[in-house]
Structure 1
Amino acid sequence: MNLKTDKVGIIGSGSWATALAKILLENVNEINWYFRKQSTIETFKKNKHNPRYLHEVEFDTSKINFCDDINCIIAHSDILIIAVPSAFLPTVLADVKDLSGKYILSGVKGIVTDENLLVAEYLLKYFNVDHDMIGVLAGPCHAEEVAREKLSYLTVACTTEEKAMKFTQLIECDYIYTSASDDIWGTEYAAVLKNIIAIAAGIAHGQRFGDNFHAVLVSRAIQEIKRFVDQVHPIDRDIKAPAYLGDLMVTAYSQFSRNRTFGSMIGKGYSVKAAQLELNMVAEGYYATKSIHQINEKHQVDMPICEAVYQILYDKIPPHKVFGELTRKLC
């Protein structure tokens, strides 16, 4: 990887992809960027901002090579940043012909639901992308604060910290501090789990639980996450690090958290479909809830918070009944 000569491409056009494009252009002269619709590209070029997300971020479009052909973006890029909702990843990559030789930094904060695969596992299985070529981007970081250049922290996880440090050079700037990790599996699973916990926090908010309960919920949640990641990938890790505890906290508490907002709607009595329609954005935790439930059928980790969310979203048990039982389990 050579940042002076390598071309960088982005696959994804949502808020997180837009935030990452802003960060990347602090460090590279130009980027290649895939958008599904040519009409969106034309509107972007005309108005100098993404027509659907983070309107306040104005881009110098002379530094962006837009294209609606994903294979063209891939062919002309040495490093690929993938930032699409995990549930849609197979559809987005359906026409991809070859990813060999590409360095890939995954900003996907979820699990590929059809087969319950982490993104790194999915890329290995279907595109033969070795784990040594993959980096995983972890928070805590919201796209909306990146847009406002609020100081934020990101962690890049690779098979070794040395490889992760190379990726960090892409994204570190005046308002983004970075750290490196060798825990691909732990950071990916933690990113999946914190979205489920954020839904639980939102449900609690919708049910009018107070700050005291939220504090207990989040403190028990990090223990739940630790039990799970230690079971599925047992290595020495500090669960209190920003990529785990920090990402959980910001997702469970922030006004920008779409998973928390989705959960709050459910807690107030919305159906899943109604909440999804009103949110008008993808709440990764909804899909992750079912995947983690299925994965945990094998591991049998004690996960009362994730199980409570599953009962509400998929078994359709009323939130007040499920949380009535959960409150006693959190003692």
Structure 2
Amino acid sequence: MSFLNNTKIAVIGGGSWATALIKILCEQNHIQIRWWLRNQKDIDHIRKFNHNPSYLSDVVLSPRKVKVFEKTVDAVKGADYVILAVPAAFVRESLQHLSPKHLQGKRIVSAIKGMLPDLNLLITDWISRDFGIPIEDTCVIAGPCHAEEVALEKQSYLSIASTECPAAEDFAALMTCRYVAANPLDDLYGVEYAAIMKNIIALACGITHGLGYGDNFQAVLVSNAMQEIGGFVTSLDPRERNMSSSAYLGDLLVTSYSQFSRNRLFGNMIGRGYSVKAAQLEMKMIAEGFYATKSIHEMNKIHHVNMPITNSVYRVLYEEHAPAVVMEDLKKLLK
């Protein structure tokens, strides 16, 4: 099944990542984009001025290629692909007016780097379970890539993963343009879990930075994190995978070190003395790692993987231990 010509793509979400993905898709010929946003003021503004006033406002979108919708049912109608680009905590609310028949025969692409927080469930598994979409018709988009650099047209890389390569290859072709290279993989679960866990590590990096730790410690932290992610992913989906490739290590590095990383920023605020609630109120965007920390921590009660970094972040965010004390304990466990 290939939709490379005259492809209709619905995008669910109005944030920076959704806007960046639409910008990339606008580089393609023979594509129609059907965009659903929650905010009516943003919808009206986009229709009039062809840019998102709330996120990446310098990105000009083609009115010929992009149509904006108030209802998700209208946005997904006739679409070949549906891209989900809302925070994981809000995905069920965003799709509440859709039934399995609305998504039947479509490929679903998750650009969400988080899990359903109360179910500890991957987005692709939830879509398959609740909407009856065959898992082979789902894909995930991972990095290493930040929306802000896409907006600036800096050379970027995406990883498109599915259980079977043809689905990933088709969508990777749609996401490739002069400043983005999209690479297909057949490791849906490995890429999806790694994309979730790297946000937890970015929180840890932010916390240590806020506490005054330097580059030397952060390098050790990230090196140990790669082992932690690899161990957890392997326990859930044992198979041979190269964890040093860009889909895993690259995505971890950019999220841990970049000035654009919202998870690193959130962690930095916690390290500097903000409470969790105060940091959440200060940030305009959702830090997926906050919810992911609890989900992964709860899942690991079953799998028993050695994950000192995730445990440390959990202690800070959910047990309200002092960040300085927790990181002192973590120092003794890193090598």
Place the TM-score, normalised by the shorter chain, in its bin.
Answer: over 0.9
CA distance in 1, matches of 2:124, 2:307: 24
Q: 1:214 aligns with which of 215, 218, 241?
A: 218
Distance 1:83 1:174 in 2: 22
Q: Which amino acid aligns with 1:272?
A: V
Residue 276 of structure 1, aligned match among 254, 263, 280: 280
Distance (Å, rounded) in 2 between the aligned partners of 1:178 and 1:40: 29
Q: Which residue pairs with 1:156 in the alignment? A: 160
Counterpart of 2:332 in 1: which secondary structure?
helix
* Structure-2 residue corresponding to 1:182: 186
Code of the aligned partner of 2:181? Y
Give 2:64's match in structure 1, choosing from 62, 65, 73. Answer: 62
Instruction: For residue 8 of structure 1, report the CA deviation from its aligned partner.
Output: 1.1
Aligned to 1:41: 43
TM-score between the two structures when normalised by the length of structure 2:
0.97
Per the TM alignment, residue 45 of structure 1 is displaced from its structure 2 partner at its CA by: 2.1
Aligned to 2:228: 224
Structure 2 residue 13 is matched with structure 1 residue 12: yes
Deviation at 1:95, TM superposition (A): 1.3
Task: Assess if the C-alpha contact under 8 Å between 1:272 and 1:313 holds in 2.
Answer: yes
* Equivalent residue pairs, number: 331
Q: CA deviation at 1:5?
A: 2.9
* Structure-2 separation of matches of 1:198 and 1:37: 29
Aligned mates of 1:206, 1:73 — CA distance in 2 = 42
Among 66, 73, 92, the alignment partner of 2:75 is 73
Instruction: For structure 1, list consecutive stretches of 5 or more residues without a partner in the other structure.
Output: none
TM-score with structure 1 length normalisation?
0.98
State how far apart, in whole Å, the 2-side matches of 1:59 and 1:24 are.
Answer: 10
SS at match of 1:306: helix
**Aligned runs of 1:65-144 on 2, under 5 Å?**
65-97=67-99, 98-144=102-148
SS in 1 for 2:265: helix
Verify the 8 A CA contact 1:38 1:67 in the aligned structure 2: no
Corresponding residue for residue 21 of structure 1: 22
One-letter identity of the residue aligned with 2:83 = I
Distance in 2 between residues matched to 1:150 and 1:52, nearest whole Å:
21
Secondary structure of the 1:62 match is coil
State which drifts further: 129-138 or 259-268. Answer: 129-138
Shift of 1:66: 0.8
TM-align CA RMSD: 1.0
Runs (4+) of structure 1 moved beyond 6 Å?
none
Q: Percent identity?
A: 49
Q: Secondary structure at the match of 1:61?
A: coil
AA aligned opposite 1:37: N
By how many angstroms is 1:75 displaced?
A: 1.4
Distance 1:184 1:273 in 2: 33
